[in-house]
Chain A
Amino acid sequence: MLIGDVLTISLLSLKIALSALILSLPIGLLCAWWLAHSKGFAVSICESILLLPMVLPPSSCGLLLLTVLSPGGLVGRFLLNHFGVNLILNWKAAVIAAAFVSFPLLMRACQQSFAQIPESLTEVTKSFGLTRWQAFRQVSVPLALPGILNGCILAIARSLGEFGSTIMVAGLIPGETETLSLAIYARTINGKDTEAWALASVSIGLSFILLLINRLYLKGRQGGLSSL
């Protein structure tokens, strides 16, 4: 296998992981902020549902997404008929799958970061006459930024490792959805051990670097806002 192939596959994985992050970040931030400032049984239920993809078997996530997004499913049919958008078996599907499973990690990190902002500060923003949206944008997000960045790193790492739901909804299409984890799997079962190892080395390296950043960062901020 050419070095070019390894590069293409690695870059594609990164592209999908970053796109997934862009997709899940706004929703993750809003959910995290809401959860950090709400209490009660209903909130706990919502929180559990939002965290579910983190512990669900990826194949369940895959089935769920497939049922909803495939042209036979409700959302899939609507999107295809009205907008001509197909969200199955293409790179968009890979992005959605990655975003779906990495979302809880991102949200959790952001939520903990928001929760550590002192209550009193929230009170102060109110006395300055800031609206909730302004308080979120100008006070909470900047203060929680280290924790949010940390969550982003974890989400990217998780997206890079995503396999189960990706192979179900996005399939393995060389150059389009063939991410590192899919490529390693396919090459292993098809007996291309050397190629599998070349790709696995890249994935081990990438994941290690991401985790190292995460750890160094936490060390640097000992007991800071962003402990996960």
Chain B
Amino acid sequence: MVIKCFENLIFCCALICFIADLQAAPMKLRIGAAASLQDVLQEAGEAWLKTTEKGTKLTYNFAGTSTLVRQIKWGAPLDVFISASKENADEMIQAKLGLEDSVLSLASNRLVLISPMETKTEALSLEQLAKLERVKLATCDEAVPVGFYTHSYLRKVGFYERLKSKFVYIDHARSVLGMVANKTAAFGMVYRTDAVSEARRVKVILEASPTDHPPILYLGLVLSRASQKARKTATSFLKFLASSEGQTFFSKHGFKQPGSKFAYR
């Protein structure tokens, strides 16, 4: 008898919670974004929340752009996708998973070679790096944007074959950064903004000329999976990021303006 009462009580509680949840359900915008955007998006997101409807929430899934593409194809519940490469954004649109008219260019970046702060050299040419023995260069697979830019750059400047044996592969830009910051790897190629975010533990010893690799472009888009209401909120979030107010956050973290030359269309 007591157990029966208890069961009913739990059931009622669960029901009340469920109904309460449904009624108060705030708008929750789910964002999948390139790992290199971690700091800037969280900060800009906070600012955007203040300007928007009360109760709106943001949840983030930061990962390598290529991982996000997989996840979205597998059906990950996301409303917004912010890619670190134009190719991946295009892939989403071609697969009809992203809304073509929602695409906005948000920022641009530079590619740098980093090493732990303790390293004695202040600057290093790729020629010198190629001559170093028993050092590892952390990078990503070419399917990951930062890996794609790194490999394209090394091919363009003619060092790919000579440096290939030093490569150690990891998930995304932030993991490369972590690997160099904790001194697991002696070198790594990341975005300039990543290096800036860990300025106390890593230093830039070479900056790739932007003409030597495809332009690094961050594109945001609304996913077709988003509900009508979420689409509206998502569009306003992306527009905020592209606005002059949103751009101040990007420049604060060292991102470059996307520039009209690189605009999506």
Contact = CB atoms under 8 A, between A and B. Distances in A.
Interface of A: 66, 70-72, 86, 88-89, 167, 169, 171-174, 177, 186, 188-192
Contact of A190 (B141, B179, B182): B141
Contacts of B66: 189-191
Interface string B79-114: 000000000000000000000000000000000000
Contacts of B136: 89, 171, 173
19 contacts: A66-B182, A66-B184, A70-B183, A71-B183, A72-B183, A89-B136, A89-B185, A171-B179, A172-B168, A172-B169, A172-B170, A173-B168, A174-B167, A186-B141, A186-B169, A188-B70, A189-B64, A189-B70, A190-B141
A71 to B, nearest CB: 6
Contacts of A88: 184
A119 B136 CA distance: 54
Contact of A171 (B134, B182, B184): B184
B231 to A, nearest CB: 26
Interface residues of B, number: 21
Contacts of B143: 190-192
Given A66-B182, A66-B184, A174-B167, 9 more contacts: A89-B136, A89-B184, A169-B184, A177-B168, A188-B70, A189-B67, A190-B66, A190-B143, A192-B143
A70 B143 CA distance: 28
Contacts of B169: 171-174, 186
Contacts of B184: 66, 70, 88-89, 169, 171
B154 to A, nearest CB: 16
Nearest to B172: A189
A174 B143 CA distance: 15
Contacts of B170: 167, 171-172
B69 interface: yes
A171 B185 contact: yes
B190 interface: no
Residue picked from B144, B168, B185, most chain A C-beta under 10 Å: B168
B18 to A, nearest CB: 33
A177 B144 CA distance: 20
Contacts of A66: 182, 184
Interface string B146-175: 000000000000000000000111110000
Nearest to B116: A72
Q: Identify the 10 closest CB pairs spanning chains A and B, nearest first.
A: A190-B143, A171-B168, A172-B169, A72-B183, A189-B67, A190-B141, A89-B136, A173-B168, A89-B168, A190-B66
